[in-house]
Every structure is written in structure tokens, then in C-alpha cells.
Amino acid sequence: MPPPLSSVYVQQHARTQRAGAVDPAPGVRTVPAETVFDSGGNSVLVGAAGAGKSSLLRAAVTTLAERWDRGTDTVVPVRVLAADLVTPRSLPDAIAASVNADLSTLGVVESWSPALFRLPPVPGACWLLLIDALDEVIDARQRQAIMAKLAGVSEEKEPIYRFVVATRPSADIELDGPPGWSAIRYDLLPFSDRQFDEFAERWFSNLVVQPGIVM
């Protein structure tokens, strides 16, 4: 069976570029890709197909949850598919539906209530929503509606949410977002030869071979 993602994940890097900010910071920096979750505001993660966007978000759920348990962070990560935000319903309802659908594939029978996402996890903390696969929402108007929904929520005086939106680069996806949306853009860099070697070494070192299966 395949090894767990946490045991084979290799740290990636990204270039940062502020998107939609009133006073953009000059220059571009190369940083560890995990910085996208620590920006203190909203972020847009851009990467080509197969670049590792979804793997980065899935790994972050575990890492950030562990930081929350240790009391070293004030955000609770929740991964949501962008397609689940298309339906015209409140953001808490959409989050709960997406999370429950994802958990059901793992055999989890308990469900999360939308009421849980209408308030901060605890006072002084917020939900970090990891919005995956915006580019897989085919209709441009639906993508715009999703971003408008996120921008509207971001304008709240006491924000309950922060957002990381992951997407492939595309000419018809406006990464700056609608008015009221401010985010830092991160362009996920491709793996280097060294990173590919490290991934292969971790994969085969952690691979569990089932009895009776000849490799």
C-alpha cells in the first residue's frame, strides 16, 4: 500500500508576489512553500498541473492541526474543494458539506454541522480555509462568484476566516480577485532534480509491501 503523505512529502518553494494589495511590496522573493499558510492574510497559490498544490494543502492540514494541538498557532485548517462553493448557499453550509463529503470517503460516519463554522474555533482564533482546485470550476462566472463570496466574507470587521486559494495558471482566471479582496500570490516552483531524488528515496524507504505481492 502507498506510504502516508506525511512520510514522503518533500518541502517545496514558491515565489511570492502581492496580488490586489493597495501598496504592493517591491520585488519577488523565493520562500518555502509552507509560508503561504503563515502570511497572516489571504493567499493565492498558483501552480501547474502536477506541481503539488493539493499535496501541499493536504500536508498542511496535518501540520497546522498539530501546531494547533500544541498551542503554537491560532488557525484551524479546513480543506474545501472550490467546486463545493458553487452552490448558492452560505459559506458555513458549503464548508460543512465539502468536509463531510471528503470524510465520508474515508468511512467517517460522524458529520460536521454548519453551525460549527459560523463562529471562530475559539475566541481569538480563525478558520484557515484551504480552497483547492479553483481552475477545475469550468464556468468563469462561477469562479468569479466564488471569489466574490470570499471577498465579501473578508470584509467583515472581525474575520472568522482566512483563505488560501489554489489554482492552475490560466489567462481567464483573474488572480487579483474582486474589489475588497487582498492577497499575497505564491507561484509554486517545480521540483528540482534533488527534490525528485529525495521524494523517490522517501517513497521506497516507506513503502509497505503487502504479503503475497511480488514487486
* Domains by residue range for the chain, with CATH: 5-22+31-206 (3.40.50)
The answer to whether residues 140 and 88 touch, using CB atoms and an 8 Å cutoff, is no
126: three-class secondary structure by DSSP: strand
Cell of 133: 482546485
CA dihedral sign, ordered 72, 76, 79, 85: negative
Averaged over successive runs of 10 residues, the pLDDT of the chain (215 residues) comes to 55 74 60 90 90 90 90 91 93 94 78 92 92 93 90 77 92 68 88 57 59 46
CA dihedral sign, ordered 74, 61, 184, 11: positive
pLDDT score of 29:
82
Helix-strand-coil split of the chain, %, nearest 5: 40, 20, 40
pTM score, two decimals?
Answer: 0.80
pLDDT score of 188:
92
pLDDT score of 182:
84
pLDDT score of 187:
93
pLDDT score of 17:
66
The rounded distance, in Å, linking the Cα atoms of 203 and 13 is: 20
pLDDT score of 201:
62
The rounded distance, in Å, linking the Cα atoms of 85 and 78 is: 14
